[in-house]
Amino acid sequence: MVPEMKPETLVKSVDDLLVEKQAVVEKERELVQSLNTALRRMGYEVVPVDEGVPARRRGRPPGRPRGRRRGRPPKAGRPKRRGRPPKTVRSEE
């Protein structure tokens, strides 16, 4: 069971947490700024994950069928050639 807190104590506790959170956010902002300054000297930059260049999707686009279809279908009765053709032996005449 959670002990009952007085409303004044609860409000003070929430206010203290809010002040602490704001201090942490400000410190984080300062650290990222200093990191960004150092990285810019080396040719890099820190950007938020939400912004920047959208990631390129890899693979099959949604709505496209699976599998590959190339050119015309193979002729019936003849197997598909694969790889290097075999060497032919010449007879010396």
Q: What is the pLDDT of residue 63?
A: 79
Residue 22 domain flag? yes
Per-residue b or e along 17-32, where b marks 16 or more CB atoms closer than 10 Å to that residue's CB: eeeeeeeeeeeeeeee
For 17, what's the count of Cα atoms within 13 Å in the CB-facing half-sphere?
Answer: 6
The residue type found at 29 is R
Is residue 73 within 8 Å of 66, Cβ to Cβ? no
Number of domains in the chain: 1
Residue 71 domain flag? no
Q: Could you tell me the residue range of the domain that residue 11 belongs to?
A: 1-47
Distance between CA atoms of 10 and 4, rounded to whole angstroms? 10
Distance between CA atoms of 32 and 45, rounded to whole angstroms? 10
Task: Report the predicted TM-score, pTM, of the whole model to 2 decimal places.
Answer: 0.43
More confident residue, 68 or 43: 43
- pLDDT tens per residue across span 15-29: 999 999 999 999 999
Residue 31 domain flag? yes
